[in-house]
Structure 1
Amino acid sequence: MMRRNRWQLAIILVIVLIGINNTVYYFMAKRSLENGMRHEMLAVAKQIQLSIEQSRLGGEVFQNQIGRELRAVSIAAEYALDPDIDKVTNDQLAELSNKLDVTHISLFRQNSEKDDIIIEKSSDPKELNRGSKTWDPWYDAFQQLLALKPVSVKWGQTLPQFWTGPFESASTDVDKIYKWGYYYDGSTNYLIDPYISNAMMQQYEDATGVNRLIKRAVEENASLLEITAVNPATFSLGGPVLTKNDVGEWVEHITQQPVIYGKYTYQNDGDVKSVEESYRTGRTVTMNTHANGKHVLKTFIPVQIPKGSSILGKEGESLDRYILTIVSDYQFVQDSLDEQFLNIGLIITVITILCMIAVVIVTSYFRRSKDQIAKHAQLTYVDEMNQLLVSVRAQRHDFLNYVQTIHSLAELGKTAELQAYTKELAGDVQLTNDFINIGNPAIAALIRSKFAQAVERKIQFESSFRGLDNLDLGIKSLDLTRIIGNLIDNAFDEVMKYPEERRLIRLEGVLENGELAFVIRNTCDSPETVLSAQQLFDPGYSTKQKDGGHQGLGLPIVKQIVSMYKGTLQVTSDSEECIIFSVRIPHY
């Protein structure tokens, strides 16, 4: 009864251990899959980030081109107008605006009584008599231009005797967005201000701009819900930055908008904190949360931009980065996880059932055959003891013969015969070759094989390895032997073209500083081999004779394996008339 309980306890213990093992494996697999999905989303986010930033920079370049055109318009207007503002009419400015294809032209003059720079003439009646003293930092730029000094405002575009800011809401017409240019070279008593509406810029944005790119990215990727570029300095305000103009109207500043590009509908209470953390640390922040009724994965990526860009903070200072927010539908992640977990669950269930059946069968078998095994063991023991006694007697009998023979040879003084007899009695000592101390059995076996081939072909083959005993399971031994084997075979084929004394091959392998490197160099007199090195990696290409059985697949196979492990394969030459193939694979 006690024995039966012990077997039952053993079965239960095995089942519990299997269950614990499967449970641990399940959650480890779940965590691994979630991390994999997160990394995949980050990779997608980085691609989107690069595309958006490229499009944004294109928009900046387009704005700069508009700025140069506004400067050209200013110079043309200077030649067309009287240098004295009192002799210029508003009708002249209206006619000149049409001819030069700008929205309007205004003229500023310093007013010492009001201590302001005022619009005295303009093709737009709304602009007349408007002061600029409250326009920060425009007013500072005006003063510097009128003093014939370079404009020191740290954003916008500065050209000789000219400055222009980004597209911005008009303080005199709050519903309109313009880009103004300001020019003064001292030959007039006024500052020339041509400006255009954002229609041209809007056409550019609609055709190739960031918002169009964001829309396409969301439409083409089913897992993406929303992409938003936010201003980290004003995002926490929850709305646009507003100021009052000189007639009491509220002006919304485009350059300080919390949302720069895209839409912001998937809002969450933790967004402000995540944006601030990403901006402060300069690192990507991810958040697994719920927003707008969906389970989402939000990624906050800091995007570095040049100082002087048109993205401004609360006080009008230029920012050095904005935050790109990408919202992914976690349901796609969950569906993938569920599918893989279902497969894992089925495998675990089948393995568990098979293990339980195996345990029951083995237990039952041992229980039934326990007595037979004990009886067989007893008989075997007795038989072996009898054989041992017989063996001892035989050895004792033979030992006497050995001693008598040795004694007789000694008495006869047959020293040479005695030495030969004892050597034969003791047996020859078998010498073994030293094992190549490489650290990886598979590579060691390959190198020993290649050494044998080198000896047979009369090739001087040298090799050295360091640190390979620290290789883990991240790289398959089969892949390593395929890389090294194909490189050595390629070197063998090359050096066989030369006399024996020039058949030199040197192989080095090292694992250090998180990188696994194999460098093989061999004799090579043909410069064209190096020049066509890129062709060597193309499948089917070979510099050997086609009738020699070469298919041109060795180096392409090496390149394919190295690329699979995110490594590099390079070919160079040195002054010793050698060609060098270098393989480097990250290893962490």
Structure 2
Amino acid sequence: MQRNIWLAAISVIVVIILLNNSAYYLLTKRVLEQSLRKEMASVAGQIELSLEQSRHGSILFEDQIGRELRAASIAARYALDPDVEKVTNRQLEELSGKLGVSHITLMKRTEGDIVLYKSSDPNEIGQGTKNMKPWFDIFNQLFDRQAVTSGWIGQTLPNFWTGPYETATTDVDSINKWGYCYDGTTNYIIDPFVGYDRLKRYEDITGVSRLIGETLKRNDSLKEISILNPHTFGKGKIETINENGEKRVHILQQPVAYGSYRYKADDDAKLVAEAYATGETVAKEMRIGGERLYKMFIPVKIKNDLLKMTDQNGNKMDSYVLALVSDYGMIQNELNKQFLNMGLIIIAITFLSIVIAVGFMKVYKHSKEKAVRDTQSAYAEEMNQMFLAIRGQRHDFINHVQTIHALAELNKTEELVAYTKELTGEIRAVNDIIHIGNPAVAALVRSKISQAETFKIRFICSFEGLEQLEMGTRTFDLNRVIGNLIDNAFDEVRKMPEEEREVGISGIRREGRLELRVSNRCRDAESVAAAPVFCPGYTTKEDGHQGLGLSIVQSIVDGYKGEIAVRAVSEHTLEFVVYIPL
């Protein structure tokens, strides 16, 4: 039985440890994920701010290049003949060198097309533009002296328009920025253009790509930063084919505008679309190439200047998606470390708890055995006294019979009645004690009867159903309750004359509980019943009593979740009532 109890206790401890570890693991994981998410969101906010500043700087720098192209166009208009037929390619080559541009091309309007007619770049000569959308529409608007209304990103100045840096139609490996000027004084559009080298140097120093690189260096947990075009991401490169059959990639429509895209997953396109459509950050844990990663897609809206990004149809966009990839393995490593530390702590606490529990069980077992021994010892002593009393009665039986015979012969009726009355009372008292049922309680009552005889107290006892009460701790505590209540009653009635000294005790077991009643005569029962008699230290005695008896009784009763009360039965009778569940 004891072994089963220990197995059950150990099983409960193991289950508690497992539940505690699981709850701790999940809670810590959640906290670390929230911390990582907040950290990434904070980094994203810093990146957004820095990107905006860098983007504004790039826009201003590119606009300055656009104004320089317009100035070069005006200078070329004064240097060249208004008739395109009278201008030579050699003149354009020399003029482009003087004006500091890569090349100058003159565009002539023909029936149904606008042709790159003369140029310092031989690759451009003879190239038509009717299939170049939306540039062909813009060229016609310039020739017609109309305001440029194309939705394509660009910079409009008087009689001038310039687009963003783009790959060249005639040279798909070249990135240039073109300016287009026409004021009606010539029969051609002046088209100076410059290469990407100048803007690239600027962006290498202060641009977005440099910012992304520096951010990755400063954050160990960040693996990758990307600026994505939500319209073209996942759809491959947007390309057109020129007249020579060469594929031309459009910079403004690239799926990855800045940064890199090395950590690819099948769900990325769907997550980017979700973030862009809802305007809410989307995050997901995933495993790529054996690495556990945490991806976050953050939609960023541009409030002021136009974004240098278009959709697949060439329409302007005012938002993009910032993608951050973080090392989720760092969270797992931290979790493993925390889990190990917690496991060691739990093991130590569990071991200590088991040691304490074993010690407590030993103390409890020793206390229980001691209580049984004390009760049995008291019972044996009192039973010996009871047996001695019975043996004494039997020893004196002949004497009592002779006395009764002599009184009868002498016809001493009154003396005979008094003598037999005293004799039968003693025999009845002993028999009543024997019939109590519980040996320990019987032994205690026998000792209290002896005290009552000594103190000249009339002591009335009545018990029923105690034979079903087992010996052990409960009986030991019951005797403590009975003993303290009787002692308290004896102390109270000893203050009174002998003829008024009366104490009664009754005990009955019924309805699953034990009911005890102890009553005694009292000078002022009502005032005593209203006093805090169960408080430690309270006493009405003057002979050194500490006032602990009734408080001990209440603590024992409370320990068994029982009830105790005191009441005035009459003006001079006080009664204590105790209910103890069994």
Aligned residue number for residue 126 of structure 2:
129
Aligned residue number for residue 75 of structure 1:
74
Distance 2:220 2:28 in 1: 25
Quick check: 1:7–1:363 contact (8 Å CA) kept in 2? no
* CA-CA distance at 1:74 after TM superposition: 1.6
User: Greater CA deviation, 229-238 or 136-145?
Assistant: 229-238
The reply on whether 1:101 has 2:227 as its aligned counterpart is no
Out of 345, 348, 358, the residue aligned to residue 347 of structure 1 is 345
Distance 2:184 2:316 in 1: 30
Distance 2:132 2:203 in 1: 27
| SS class of match (1:235) | coil
Aligned residue number for residue 489 of structure 2:
389
Out of 251, 261, 264, the residue aligned to residue 267 of structure 1 is 264
Out of 233, 236, 244, the residue aligned to residue 235 of structure 1 is 233
Distance 1:248 1:399 in 2: 120
Q: Deviations over 1:500-551 (max 9, x none)?
A: xxxxxxxxxxxxxxxxxxxxxxxxxxxxxxxxxxxxxxxxxxxxxxxxxxxx
Shift of the 380–85 alpha-carbon distance from structure 1 to 2, 3 Å rule, reads same
Out of 141, 150, 174, the residue aligned to residue 172 of structure 2 is 174
Matches for 1:238-317 after TM superposition, within 5 Å: 238=236, 240-305=237-302, 308-317=306-315
Matches for 1:30-109 after TM superposition, within 5 Å: 30-109=29-108
Q: Deviations over 1:538-566 (max 9, x none)?
A: xxxxxxxxxxxxxxxxxxxxxxxxxxxxx
Shift of the 222–137 alpha-carbon distance from structure 1 to 2, 3 Å rule, reads same
Aligned residue number for residue 155 of structure 2:
157
* CA-CA distance at 1:234 after TM superposition: 1.6
Paired letter, 1:61: L
Paired letter, 2:146: K
Quick check: 2:180–2:190 contact (8 Å CA) kept in 1? yes
Quick check: 1:150–1:160 contact (8 Å CA) kept in 2? no
Paired letter, 1:50: L
User: Greater CA deviation, 224-233 or 368-377?
Assistant: 368-377
Q: Deviations over 1:138-197 (max 9, x none)?
A: 111112222222211232112222211110011012221110011122232222211101
Shift of the 210–11 alpha-carbon distance from structure 1 to 2, 3 Å rule, reads closer
| SS class of match (1:77) | helix
| SS class of match (2:234) | helix
Distance 1:8 1:378 in 2: 32
TM-score (norm: length of structure 1): 0.62
Pick the structure with greater CA Rg.
2
Distance 1:25 1:218 in 2: 32
Shift of the 19–387 alpha-carbon distance from structure 1 to 2, 3 Å rule, reads farther
Quick check: 2:228–2:321 contact (8 Å CA) kept in 1? yes
* CA-CA distance at 1:204 after TM superposition: 1.0
Aligned residue number for residue 320 of structure 2:
322
* CA-CA distance at 1:388 after TM superposition: 4.8
Quick check: 2:28–2:335 contact (8 Å CA) kept in 1? no
Paired letter, 2:284: M
Aligned residue number for residue 187 of structure 2:
189
Aligned length in residues: 398
Identical residues among aligned pairs (%): 47
Shift of the 26–388 alpha-carbon distance from structure 1 to 2, 3 Å rule, reads farther
Aligned residue number for residue 477 of structure 2:
377
Paired letter, 1:147: D
Paired letter, 1:30: K
The reply on whether 1:332 has 2:330 as its aligned counterpart is yes
Shift of the 192–245 alpha-carbon distance from structure 1 to 2, 3 Å rule, reads same
* CA-CA distance at 1:200 after TM superposition: 0.3
Question: Which ranges in structure 1 are unaligned for 5 or more consecutive residues?
Answer: 403-588
Question: Which ranges in structure 2 are unaligned for 5 or more consecutive residues?
Answer: 372-472, 496-520, 529-582
Q: CA RMSD in A?
A: 2.7
| SS class of match (1:236) | coil
Out of 216, 219, 223, the residue aligned to residue 217 of structure 2 is 219
Out of 137, 140, 151, the residue aligned to residue 140 of structure 1 is 137
Q: Deviations over 1:79-102 (max 9, x none)?
A: 222333233332222222111101
Shift of the 214–125 alpha-carbon distance from structure 1 to 2, 3 Å rule, reads same
Distance 1:215 1:401 in 2: 90
Q: Deviations over 1:351-383 (max 9, x none)?
A: 222222222222232222125255652343124
| SS class of match (1:72) | helix
TM-score (norm: length of structure 2): 0.63
Q: Deviations over 1:13-49 (max 9, x none)?
A: 4553454334333332333333323332333333233
Distance 2:24 2:310 in 1: 50
Shift of the 385–8 alpha-carbon distance from structure 1 to 2, 3 Å rule, reads farther
* CA-CA distance at 1:387 after TM superposition: 5.2
Paired letter, 1:216: E
Q: Deviations over 1:319-342 (max 9, x none)?
A: 222222222222222222222222
Shift of the 21–365 alpha-carbon distance from structure 1 to 2, 3 Å rule, reads farther
Quick check: 1:11–1:359 contact (8 Å CA) kept in 2? no
Out of 102, 116, 139, the residue aligned to residue 119 of structure 1 is 116
Quick check: 1:132–1:139 contact (8 Å CA) kept in 2? yes
Shift of the 12–253 alpha-carbon distance from structure 1 to 2, 3 Å rule, reads closer
Paired letter, 2:244: V
Paired letter, 2:354: M
Matches for 1:546-585 after TM superposition, within 5 Å: none
Quick check: 1:180–1:193 contact (8 Å CA) kept in 2? yes
